[in-house]
Structure 1
């Protein structure tokens, strides 16, 4: 399956339109959706989460495992569904980022799209640069968390 990879910086016009990187558009179109889904992050970061319908379905599955009347599910659904936006591509591959999400992330005239596998993030450029500096410092501490997948048994033994 295609995944969101790479980092791209694009201008935002006065109407809040921004061009979604062609590589990112290709991922969501391959999933049968001519747009992107955006929502605030669950972490403390000041960026916008983005995904296609495949990861949105994963979110739905995770929420479905919770008690439908629990406060935790209500709060998670309020952010993940209630504050989300389905943004359709125009003829030029642009979307209009909602003002509420731009304001949350501090995004004004440029946005940095950062691939994160099944999802991606949209950052204000200076905030992303600061995050990257800190991430590069911390990543060696997390290296042991990455485990190689088990070898594929080609013979079915």
Structure 2
């Protein structure tokens, strides 16, 4: 499966248009969408979440597991679906980032796209640089959480995950 990988910073023009990295466009187009889906983040931070239809379907499935009238589901759906925007690529591979999402993330004249595997994030460049410095430090602490898929689940038992 194609995934969103890498970091790219692009300028935003006066109309709010920004070029989506070609690698990211290829992912969503392989999933059958000539665009991207963007929505506010659930995690703390000033960025925009982005994805293609494959991850959007996963979000829908997660929401469908909740009682349709539960207040938790309604709050999550309001953010993840109600405030989402399906943005279509123009002939130059650009999208218009909605002003509401740009304001939420503090994005003005440049946007940094960061691949996260099945999804991506769009940051104000300086905010991402600050976040990345902390993430790099934290990743050193968390590296023991990563295990090879063929590594034993319980060392010494020979069992695999």
Normalising by the residue count of structure 2, what TM-score does the alignment of the two structures yield? 0.92
**Residues 122-151 of structure 1: CA distance to partner in whole angstroms, max 9, x if unpaired?**
000000000000001111111122121127
- In structure 2, the gaps of 5 or more residues are 152-161
Once residues 84 and 147 of structure 1 are traced to their aligned partners in structure 2, the CA distance between those partners, rounded to angstroms, is: 34
1:92 corresponds to? 92
Give the 3-state SS of the residue equivalent to 2:36 in structure 1. Answer: strand
Residue of structure 2 in register with 1:66 after alignment: 66
- CA deviations 1:53-74 (Å, max 9, x no partner) are 0000000000000111111000
Q: What's the counterpart of residue 113 of structure 1?
A: 113
Task: Show structure 1 runs of 5+ residues with no match.
Answer: 152-157
TM-score when normalising by structure 1: 0.95
* Other-structure match for 2:142: 142
What do you get for the CA RMSD once the two structures are aligned? Answer: 0.8
Question: Size of the alignment, in residue pairs?
Answer: 151
Give the 5 Å matches for 1:1-157.
1-150=1-150
d(CA) in 2 for partners of 1:82, 1:145: 34
Give the match's secondary structure for 2:76.
helix
- Residue aligned with 2:130, SS: helix
Alpha-carbon distance in 1 for matches of 2:52, 2:98? 17
The runs of at least 4 aligned residues of structure 1 exceeding 4 Å deviation read none
